[in-house]
Amino acid sequence: MKNQIKKVVLAYSGGLDTSIILKWLQDEYKCEVLTFTADIGQGEELESAKKKALSLGIKEENIFIKDLREEFVRDYVFPMFRANAIYEGEYLLGTSIARPLIAKTQAQIAIQTGADAVSHGATGKGNDQVRFELGYLAFNPDLKIIAPWREWDLNSREKLLAYAKKHKIDISKKKGKSPYSMDANLLHISYEGLVLENPANPPEEDMWRWTKSPKNAPDESEIITLEFQKGDLIKINDKKLSASKLLEKLNELGAKHGIGRLDIVENRFVGMKSRGCYETPGGTILLKAHRAIESITLDKEATHLKDELMPKYAKLIYNGFWFSPERIMLQALIDESQKYVNGKVKLELYKGNVSVIGRESAKDSLFNAAYSTFEEDEVYNQKDAAGFIKLNALRLIIAGKNGRKF
Amino acid sequence: MKNQIKKVVLAYSGGLDTSIILKWLQDEYKCEVLTFTADIGQGEELESAKKKALSLGIKEENIFIKDLREEFVRDYVFPMFRANAIYEGEYLLGTSIARPLIAKTQAQIAIQTGADAVSHGATGKGNDQVRFELGYLAFNPDLKIIAPWREWDLNSREKLLAYAKKHKIDISKKKGKSPYSMDANLLHISYEGLVLENPANPPEEDMWRWTKSPKNAPDESEIITLEFQKGDLIKINDKKLSASKLLEKLNELGAKHGIGRLDIVENRFVGMKSRGCYETPGGTILLKAHRAIESITLDKEATHLKDELMPKYAKLIYNGFWFSPERIMLQALIDESQKYVNGKVKLELYKGNVSVIGRESAKDSLFNAAYSTFEEDEVYNQKDAAGFIKLNALRLIIAGKNGRKF
Amino acid sequence: MKNQIKKVVLAYSGGLDTSIILKWLQDEYKCEVLTFTADIGQGEELESAKKKALSLGIKEENIFIKDLREEFVRDYVFPMFRANAIYEGEYLLGTSIARPLIAKTQAQIAIQTGADAVSHGATGKGNDQVRFELGYLAFNPDLKIIAPWREWDLNSREKLLAYAKKHKIDISKKKGKSPYSMDANLLHISYEGLVLENPANPPEEDMWRWTKSPKNAPDESEIITLEFQKGDLIKINDKKLSASKLLEKLNELGAKHGIGRLDIVENRFVGMKSRGCYETPGGTILLKAHRAIESITLDKEATHLKDELMPKYAKLIYNGFWFSPERIMLQALIDESQKYVNGKVKLELYKGNVSVIGRESAKDSLFNAAYSTFEEDEVYNQKDAAGFIKLNALRLIIAGKNGRKF
Amino acid sequence: MKNQIKKVVLAYSGGLDTSIILKWLQDEYKCEVLTFTADIGQGEELESAKKKALSLGIKEENIFIKDLREEFVRDYVFPMFRANAIYEGEYLLGTSIARPLIAKTQAQIAIQTGADAVSHGATGKGNDQVRFELGYLAFNPDLKIIAPWREWDLNSREKLLAYAKKHKIDISKKKGKSPYSMDANLLHISYEGLVLENPANPPEEDMWRWTKSPKNAPDESEIITLEFQKGDLIKINDKKLSASKLLEKLNELGAKHGIGRLDIVENRFVGMKSRGCYETPGGTILLKAHRAIESITLDKEATHLKDELMPKYAKLIYNGFWFSPERIMLQALIDESQKYVNGKVKLELYKGNVSVIGRESAKDSLFNAAYSTFEEDEVYNQKDAAGFIKLNALRLIIAGKNGRKF
């Protein structure tokens, strides 16, 4: 393959690893390299990625920088939260949900620039390689994919640094850069490696970059109101903002109150278990609030059907199948359920806790106190319950009369 | 039916409502009434229930009092927690899981005493009537069931009090008795009614009877270690205790640290939405810890299969189908998965937060840092990932080549 | 309730039972009775139902007759077949799928005529009462429902006949009328009762009204071609017909070749088992053909997701929840999957057998012989399989190295 | 790897392909080759495989021949039929279910003989390579696997024959040998390739090796009785036989009456669609009969739970995950359901049709005609249905009153 590649689009962060990859692609594949840097809210300066690319000999017209923040939250994060998606009971899929958008945009740049290949900096043991590559192939099945970590022999920190030195790539560490392996975007930050490699170890307090520790969070709680329309957040404290601004605002609130830290061992798609720590301040609030607005507006069986399908939906996203017929089918089902999910949720934030303290929906609440209290109401005749129970029990009664024991 | 009943076993708490029922059964059905009071850790004196029954004319030999605490936790709570059961994303099923045991024991007393009927004090609009009656019928399909709330016309607080007065039943409120409609057992306390009937209202702080408010919980966190064997808790801080003692201890720890409060709107089996507040201090810790020990010991696909089936399992318990072929089938599947779920979890408790800060399993951990780091190891060849991804993508590639868009 | 009803719309077949009900409603409820007779292809003369109604004193303007055949097949049968719906592995839901349309139309007539009640002739132990009533209530939650079979004491054939006689309702049996309890529409005929009440008995040959016995079917097989568009049948043998005409044609072909007989014991929603025999000649062919066109055009995981959800979808229809949020959600998922389900299927019909003997899709086939033969092709590198298998096995390998046995 | 292998166990059929592999292993890997030939009812002489192996230089003590027929049916086929497993609505998994047993036995021989590797003749594009290798690795994660079809360059019929000629392997075709790519065992025969590579082509009549064509099957139908115990077949026509003998007998009956032919396009685990034809005469009868005995003995919700999980279970077997925690968990659930699945089913076999004409269970039938007829009975009060329907409709009524439309 090496001699056949003419032009490759690299997912480029401006960091050391992808800078080494950039150089390595030029050297090994002797091909033109284009860089693509997406702003999905990772909080790094895009300008410096551009300078770095220029310094590594990339032509200005070959440097692509895109602000994907609004698209990311509107078309990826929000649809996923309609499903209340959680992987393995805990993980809010912060990394997983960003990869398809990056892959799609990168594939589109490849198509538009006539590139025949794409490349990324994900390692050969992780989930991200799968998510990137499934995304590329779903968009352009003819793209060649270069995954340097699976190809080269720079398989240790030392070899990488030696390679960088040899090729005059700046290896000076950014001040304050985390020693952990991290991923960040508008939804979350993840941490892997170092002390985390032993799941018996707690994370170090100074690992966390975003949220306050619950212990250092304000002693006063804060009450906020979130408003939803068709299952999507549209206002915080009655203020309408764009999707990405809403999530930014939620993140700020969550981070301040020590909300959204998570420390888990998860099962990677490629088969092994891995330890990760996550900060998802806004997402943690959003999930709680979305469940709460659904609790008064969504039909019972719609709720249960969503709950039963959620693990499958979350797994698809985790495994990289965002762009797949089955995810799109499930999304159609989920979106269909959200048309009446309108209303407001009041939440109290306090030292790591998100508590729902009120929910209302002017038009779409299915809750009616008259129905649930034990007194009479217009729709419910208590005598009906006898027949309901009797027929629900019928098969058990027949089995019992037949001598079966439970 | 009224003239046919000879002997009825009443689920009797000693409180006002079931005392009225006791009287009403004597009057309306002219039959012998036996009382059954179970100790499932509700924290009320059983002795006073006995006295009350005697004072209402029940013969001593017709008063049945059973301590079911150990059986409750060992055979109901723990099996349920093996499944990580949560109803509608939030509720830990504290009331639901106690009803089948009460119903079964009550049905057994009926069989043993030759009673032809059973009776309970659950109202005609709630879930508990279903749970009780499905339990009775699964155990003895020939039992007649008297559900006074669905029969009588005492359908308001005033009428009830008038009836009590007329029949000289003591209506003096116990000091400190909650004005809310409550249910309590070793796993939880629930609250319904009053200010909660509007889901836009927050609960009042003094409603909560068990847990400290996170705001009043200790400023110092506390670290505890839970040990599991085959998915069940066996030790706290290296101390072996019986199942019920373990849960008591966990409750104490959780209550102290403000853990396990919940405020939700849920969908009742009988069809309407209802607002409830719950305290599940020990259960909240237990669920988190069980997930954590599974995270290092349970196979990936076993985890996912459990996650996909959990909502159905939880719904069965919520709806009262504990004694049903399908719950037993699911339990067989769940129990089969737990044989290697052995090990220890370290948790930090702090002002409403339960954080996992370590997990280990001497023999059964499937986690191995060597597998998940990006460096080489003995079982994983990074080049394998290319083939893995390619074949996982194959159907998408073929679809793409066929012109399909995602 | 009896004095409150002013106007009731009765689902009226013109047969003896609904004629008795008509009379009984007039007598018991002293209210105006409107009759509604739907043509869903049951093969009976609507004109005679009209005459009968007139003869029982119904005013001409109160007699509603609607030809629902096209709507039935287009909007109910075809959407259901997109899902390959089968209840309990066998039953093609012929009765179940017709009830919601009848109920909806009846409820609409009630709204339009200002009627305050509806009535039907389904018995109190069957599924149809549920299907009718859920349909009524989904369309108009304020309608009162009169289900005579659950109210009156005419609970035996003798009492019914006596009542008819007394009220001068013609009880002379139609010549050739089946002694079985039957339901018929464009999709099927069902039989219950008599000799079928013992599941150890085979049905009598002369019970079957529609299909030839395989033994008497032609000795020559017949080859037909069905064409599908977005999962729906659009042509038979290259001839375009309306939905109902297509099903009629398929029925004719199936009936001729002895196709679509079924004899089962099924589980009713109300809790007991019941024996039924069914003839679904066209539907049996359609299901086989739809599966076949999907086999070359539908993505693998889309197929599997549909297969996993199908039992739930079929159960919803069987239980009467066609008009429910969860059925509509599932339909959205199913319909999303069908956009490329285009092409032709060739089938051979012979003495009860439907055999697929060819399928093709000019534009949307995902089948490519080059991919599946063992030789090289453009999309598949056999070496990729090693990595694919290795990573799929990884968790098993790790478990094995940990000493676990399978 | 090539120099490291000392001893390899080859799954050896005695045919041309595995004979070439045998030679190739000796030449390429310079290692000792052991052959393993399993009798799973494929209907070929094992003696000739032995002779062939000897003639290729394998030492007698290195030739392993095992009769696995009874184990195959008892421990693999029957447990699978308890689940009513069908892949993609059609395929009875005849090849899939045999592979794990072969792989397990082969891995055991490797352990017992101190071999460090295993090898098989499955191609690099099929499902069988996955099934074999997952089986090997589940039993012995340290085994090395040699899959010649993925390694060598003999990737066409011509090259293979040239290689055989060069190494003096007998390439004379067996008289009557099928030109199709086939797999056979006690449960089925499969066919791939040639004219089948175009899914628009019907199979040729003389391709089928086992079953009569329905057209040539006897004009007289045959009635048989199957008896089940705990979900497994134990007697045919009241005659008790071992598991494998029962299946042999059923095959004979099915083959005679033209039962069990299937022509489908299926989705392979490795990602492409493939055309296959299958003959499963006994299995087709068994599935129908098992469903029938379940229809009178299995609880409704148990039936539905099994139906919902069946596609997942079938997919696991198809994909090669027989030895996996999740298959074992599902098996525990399925087996739990079968304890009352006892009784007899009467079937009529006629020209491709299997019709159930009677089912009975002396002790375990849950069917009772009294319950299902419209007349009164002891367990069912028709008035109960009103309450049952009303509460099932409640959420729809509330939604309707809230203005929602379905």
**In degrees rounded to 5, what are phi and psi of residue A261?**
-80, 145
Active site residue B181: yes
Q: Average pLDDT, stretch D287-312?
A: 98
Say what the pLDDT of residue A1 is. 61
Would the pLDDT of D4 be above 80?
Answer: yes
Would the pLDDT of B175 be above 80?
Answer: no
Q: Which residues, numbered 181 to 200 in chain C, qualify as contacts with chain D under a Cβ-Cβ cut-off of 8 Å?
A: 192-193, 197-200
Q: Average pLDDT, stretch D125-146?
A: 96
| Other CB atoms within 10 A of residue B92 CB | 25
Give the model confidence (pLDDT) of D57-66 as tens digits: 999 999 999 9
Per-residue CA distances from D219 to D213, D216, D256, D351 (Å): 12, 8, 11, 7
Give the model confidence (pLDDT) of A368-378 as tens digits: 988 887 777 77
Q: Average pLDDT, stretch D304-321?
A: 98
C395·A267 Cβ contact <8 A: yes
Give the model confidence (pLDDT) of B316-329 as tens digits: 999 999 999 999 99
Of D175 and C303, more confident: C303
| pLDDT above 70: percentage of residues in chain D | 99
Find chain C residues with C-beta within 8 A of A271's C-beta.
391-395, 398
Say what the pLDDT of residue C328 is. 98
- Write out the two tokens for D265: 């396009």
Q: Specify the range with the lowest mean pLDDT, choosing from A14-18, C221-225, C241-245, D340-344.
A: A14-18
Query: How far apart are the C-alpha atoms of A315 and A236, rounded to whole Å?
Result: 30
Say what the pLDDT of residue A157 is. 83
| pLDDT above 90: percentage of residues in chain A | 90
CA nearest C90: which of C327, C261, C217? C261
Query: How far apart are the C-alpha atoms of B154 and D47, rounded to whole Å?
Result: 86
HEC string for B285-351 = HHHHHHHHHHHHHCCHHHHHHHHHHHHHHHHHHHHCCCCCHHHHHHHHHHHHHCCCCCEEEEEEEEC
Say what the pLDDT of residue B173 is. 73
Say what the pLDDT of residue A173 is. 73
**Is there a contact between D65 and D30 (Cβ–Cβ < 8 Å)?**
no
B335 touches chain D (CB under 8 A): yes
| pLDDT above 70: percentage of residues in chain B | 99
At B44, is the pLDDT very low, low, confident or very high (cuts 50, 70, 90)?
A: confident
Q: Mutating which of B261, B268, B327, B389 best tests the A interface, going by the most A Cβ atoms within 10 A?
A: B389
pLDDT tens, chain C, 406 aa long: 667 899 999 999 999 999 999 999 999 999 999 999 999 999 887 899 999 999 999 999 999 999 999 999 999 999 999 999 999 999 999 999 999 999 999 999 999 999 999 999 999 999 999 999 999 999 999 999 999 999 998 878 889 999 999 999 988 877 778 999 999 999 999 999 999 999 999 999 999 999 999 999 999 999 999 999 999 999 999 999 999 999 999 999 999 999 999 999 999 999 999 999 999 999 999 999 999 999 999 999 999 999 999 999 999 999 999 999 999 999 999 999 999 999 999 999 999 999 999 999 999 999 998 888 777 777 888 999 999 999 999 999 999 999 999 8
Q: Which chains touch B (3 or more CB pairs under 8 A)?
A: A, C, D
**In degrees rounded to 5, what are phi and psi of residue A357?**
-120, 5
Give the model confidence (pLDDT) of A36-79 as tens digits: 999 999 988 789 999 999 999 999 999 999 999 999 999 999 99
Active site residue D69: no
Of B172 and B131, more confident: B131
Give the model confidence (pLDDT) of B225-242 as tens digits: 999 999 999 999 999 999
Q: Average pLDDT, stretch A302-309?
A: 98
Looking at chain C, the number of H-run helices and the number of E-run strands are 14, 14
C99 touches chain D (CB under 8 A): no
| Other CB atoms within 10 A of residue A150 CB | 21
**Is there a contact between C124 and C147 (Cβ–Cβ < 8 Å)?**
yes
Determine the CATH number of domain B2-67+96-166: 3.40.50.620
As a whole number of Å, the CA-based R_g of chain D is 25
How far from the centroid of its chain's Cα atoms is residue C302's Cα? 24
D360 touches chain C (CB under 8 A): yes
Find chain C residues with C-beta within 8 A of B300's C-beta.
395
Start and end residues for every CATH 3.90.1260.10 domain found in chain B: 187-360
Say what the pLDDT of residue C370 is. 87
**Is there a contact between D385 and D393 (Cβ–Cβ < 8 Å)?**
no
A163 touches chain B (CB under 8 A): no
A129 touches chain B (CB under 8 A): yes
CATH 3.40.30.10 for domain D187-360: no
Helix/strand/coil for C105: helix
Q: Average pLDDT, stretch D140-165?
A: 92
Say what the pLDDT of residue D65 is. 97
Determine how β-strand D7-11 pairs with β-strand D32-39: parallel
Query: How far apart are the C-alpha atoms of D387 and D393, rounded to whole Å?
Result: 10
- Partners of A356 in the beta sheet? A347
Give the model confidence (pLDDT) of A100-127 as tens digits: 999 999 999 999 999 999 999 999 999 9
Find chain A residues with C-beta within 8 A of C141's C-beta.
379
Say what the pLDDT of residue D360 is. 98
Active site residue D99: yes
At D238, is the pLDDT very low, low, confident or very high (cuts 50, 70, 90)?
A: very high
Find chain D residues with C-beta within 8 A of C286's C-beta.
none
Helix/strand/coil for C114: coil
Say what the pLDDT of residue D1 is. 60
A382·B123 Cβ contact <8 A: yes
Query: How far apart are the C-alpha atoms of A31 and A119, rounded to whole Å?
Result: 12
Start and end residues for every CATH 3.40.50.620 domain found in chain A: 2-67+96-166
Find chain A residues with C-beta within 8 A of D365's C-beta.
402
Of A155 and D153, more confident: D153
As a whole number of Å, the CA-based R_g of chain B is 25
Give the model confidence (pLDDT) of B87-111 as tens digits: 999 999 999 999 999 999 999 999 9
The average confidence (pLDDT) of chain A is 95
Buried b (16+ CB within 10 A) or exposed e, A333-353: bbbbbbebbbbbbbbbbbbbb
Q: Average pLDDT, stretch A173-190?
A: 90
B88 backbone φψ class: left, alpha, beta (φ>0; ψ -120 to 50)? left
Active site residue B17: yes
Give the model confidence (pLDDT) of A328-356 as tens digits: 999 999 999 999 999 999 999 999 999 99
| Nearest-by-CA chain A residue for C393 | A271
ipTM value > 0.90: yes
Give the model confidence (pLDDT) of B349-360 as tens digits: 999 999 999 999
Give me the DSSP letters along A63-121. Answer: EEEEE-HHHHIIIIIHHHHHTT--BTTTB--TTTTTHHHHHHHHHHHHHHHT--EEE--
A356 touches chain C (CB under 8 A): no
